[in-house]
Amino acid sequence: MFSIAGALSKASAMEFCSAVGSLGEMIKDLVIDCEKVTFVDSEGLRQLVIAQKLMQKRGSFSLIRVPAVLSEALFRTGLSQKIRVLS
């Protein structure tokens, strides 16, 4: 399980991307704890999509403890139908 905090935005995109990219091939299922996410913009959502595509080739990708700010963005952009959100 992975935990992210603060803004999931253009500023933190590179960090998030490299963190997910550095996960070894051994890791098949990735769960991201989003409880501490305070802000998300289009670049943040794109990074989630990239992570999801990467992990789906290996196993699964899901989000848990999604705050309202992220949940609203996922719903608005239709990504809630594509990215698995665990309750």
- Spatial separation of the C-alpha atoms in residues 80 and 12, rounded to whole Å: 22
Establish if 39 lies at the interface with other proteins (CB under 8 A): yes
From first CA to last CA, the distance across the chain in angstroms is 15
**Nearer to other proteins by C-beta: 1 or 18?**
18
Establish if 46 lies at the interface with other proteins (CB under 8 A): yes
Question: From the list 58, 69, 84, 85, which residue makes contact with other proteins (rule: CB under 8 A)?
Answer: 69
Residue 66's CB is within 10 A of a number of other CB atoms, namely 22
Residues with Cβ < 8 Å from 84, sequence gap 6 or more?
60, 61, 62, 63
- What one-letter code names the amino acid at 67? P
**Nearer to other proteins by C-beta: 50 or 64?**
50
Residues 4-23 that bind other proteins (CB under 8 A): 10
Residues engaged in binding other proteins (CB under 8 A): 10, 39-43, 45-46, 49-50, 53, 69, 75-82
